[in-house]
Structure 1
């Protein structure tokens, strides 16, 4: 009986359709594959049996077929894809490497990452000008997204490393001066609160004094008005009699005196703020305006159209939705997005 002919390509051809055969260490299968190191581009791999032994190439490097097998076996590729990659044409499902062998070597980490991002950004933005219509294009978009998020993470890490000495130095300075900043300020405020009762009592006495001064000013003003009327009458009756002239002059003088006294009384009736200390170190009562909430529901309705209130409510609603709690006035919705 003739021996059955074994198709040495069968494992690979079946794998191309998603039908993977048994996988064992040290048991490579002839075909074309690809593999890569973490966060590095794909590299084409060829495995074949010749002259009684297994051979393998990873890119342009000859390697041990048994060693590479389990690293590439789950990534079979067509011969056409292998040929394109080995000739430097890249992969249909992966964006081109932005620098390759032309990456500048004299840049600091910031400049190097900036150049890398600029190149990735240019290609990604050009790619997004057309809709995705194939699986390969979707795969490229996913890989681009990963590359850009990796750049963002590198930037975050490098930023942290560069900034950390400044943060440490700033914290040391803060720690050094914190006590001399915070404690004197706290005691200063305590002293002001300690004066509140005294100054409030002084303000009460001032209100009483002001009320009395106002009453006295009104009384003097009435007397001044009466003296002015008397002086006007005396002037109207003036017949050049010496006694009449003297009476008129006396009435005018009294009216002027009372007018000056009334003006002084008016000034005395002005409010005087209760204070303590001296110029440059004076403390006085000041009016601080604040809200006392007397009806929370009514106030919330009055503020409901404010953007900051809407933002807070939306944040709380999203938190409830993620917890599976549906509150009155909201509905839990979901949508699928690339992530």
Structure 2
């Protein structure tokens, strides 16, 4: 019997949806093969902050493992720790090798804007990069996000803009340190690069928030329906199990009756016993089928992650606890000894809401507020 060396990869690819990164729970679902290289097509980051490159792993007839990373020989064990979480299709593997882009990769502004090479002046280089990014991002922000690929691009793009902001912040700090007395000049120099890159990164995340919220709503609805279907199938399975038990009892009773009956109609009794036995077998088969179907339905009801981007550039809905004032007078009365007064009540309530361990006073409650982050 021929063993399909690509079975693990195919299952991982189905869970990943073609190129998306597998979650920890999905890796556990795939089983122990996630601990050793499996044959298939993946993508890997050779070192921190390095571009993603395509990876192919396969075995020959003798079981020897071969690995190509970006079309160059590599050690499968060294790439597997990251690559195992990132299965891709064979078509995408060949597309990227041929110069194509990853589906979740934002446009390359360096190519589009013909950016000059590094000048050695970090401020000029980052300012040029930001100017190119800003123009492209603003076009992207004019249209709503409608696909998973666009949401992924927004997440990775936000990471790229946040990277510019981080470099600007780091260099800003370095340059300002010896200029504490003349810091205003440095503030003016770096303000636009820092704030605009950070602001664009936040806008990109906010831009994807409505899409993520809709995906979250759809996922909650899917889970609700799946739970209802699982409950329905479970009831059918229990009913089938009861029918199987009844059939088994009927078969035993018919057998006992035949053995106790010495009348000439023995052939007829034997036929009745056979019919009861057939009913028992059919009932047990139906019960087993429904039991398996119920188990499958329970797995279908499990939550699936909703996010955009990838590791290091992932955007998902985070739950933020905010205050919802239900009885203003009661709340003010409960806070009457607080040094802050009416205009500060909302602020105090918000602080209490964010502390999930805080005991809430009368007149308010803690409610979730999901935002892109």
TM-score by length of 1: 0.51
8 Å contact from structure 1 (residues 11, 21) kept in 2: no
**Alpha-carbon spacing, 1:321–1:70, altered in 2? closer, same or farther (3 Å):** closer
Could you tell me how far apart the structure 2 residues matched to 1:330 and 1:77 are?
48
Question: What SS does structure 1 have at the residue aligned with 2:369?
Answer: coil
Task: Name 2:350's counterpart in structure 1.
Answer: 318
Among 47, 53, 57, the alignment partner of 2:57 is 47
Q: Given the alignment of the two structures, is residue 23 of structure 1 paired with residue 30 of structure 2, yes or no?
A: no
Unaligned stretches of 5+ residues in structure 1: 171-308
Q: Given the alignment of the two structures, is residue 34 of structure 1 paired with residue 43 of structure 2, yes or no?
A: yes
8 Å contact from structure 1 (residues 29, 48) kept in 2: yes
Higher RCO (C-alpha under 8 Å, 6+ residues apart): 2
Task: Name 2:279's counterpart in structure 1.
Answer: none
Could you tell me how far apart the structure 2 residues matched to 1:313 and 1:116 are?
44
Could you tell me how far apart the structure 2 residues matched to 1:6 and 1:66 are?
21
Task: Name 1:151's counterpart in structure 2.
Answer: 164
Question: What SS does structure 1 have at the residue aligned with 2:66?
Answer: strand
Task: Name 1:13's counterpart in structure 2.
Answer: 10
Could you tell me how far apart the structure 1 residues matched to 2:116 and 2:38 are?
36
Task: Name 1:61's counterpart in structure 2.
Answer: 72
Task: Name 2:239's counterpart in structure 1.
Answer: none
Task: Name 1:203's counterpart in structure 2.
Answer: none
Question: What SS does structure 2 have at the residue aligned with 1:71?
Answer: helix
Task: Name 1:268's counterpart in structure 2.
Answer: none
My pick for the range that moved more, 28-37 or 50-59, is 50-59
Shift of residue 51 of structure 1? 7.0
**Alpha-carbon spacing, 1:327–1:121, altered in 2? closer, same or farther (3 Å):** farther
After superposition, residues 92-107 of structure 1 pair within 5 angstroms as 92-99=103-110, 104-107=117-120
Q: Over residues 32-51 of structure 1, what are the superposed CA-to-partner deviations in whole Å (9 max), with x where a residue is unaligned? A: 10111333432111112247
Unaligned stretches of 5+ residues in structure 2: 16-28, 184-340
After superposition, residues 169-208 of structure 1 pair within 5 angstroms as none
Shift of residue 123 of structure 1? 2.5
Could you tell me how far apart the structure 2 residues matched to 1:326 and 1:158 are?
44
Could you tell me how far apart the structure 2 residues matched to 1:326 and 1:21 are?
44
Could you tell me how far apart the structure 1 residues matched to 2:88 and 2:159 are?
22
Could you tell me how far apart the structure 2 residues matched to 1:157 and 1:44 are?
32
Shift of residue 83 of structure 1? 1.9
Shift of residue 102 of structure 1? 6.4
TM-score by length of 2: 0.46
Q: What RMSD over aligned residues (CA atoms) do the two structures have, in Å? A: 3.2
8 Å contact from structure 2 (residues 9, 41) kept in 1: yes
Could you tell me how far apart the structure 1 residues matched to 2:362 and 2:66 are?
68
Task: Name 1:138's counterpart in structure 2.
Answer: 151
Shift of residue 168 of structure 1? 7.5
8 Å contact from structure 2 (residues 115, 128) kept in 1: no
Task: Name 1:121's counterpart in structure 2.
Answer: 134
Aligned residues: 199
Structure (1 or 2) with the larger CA radius of gyration: 1
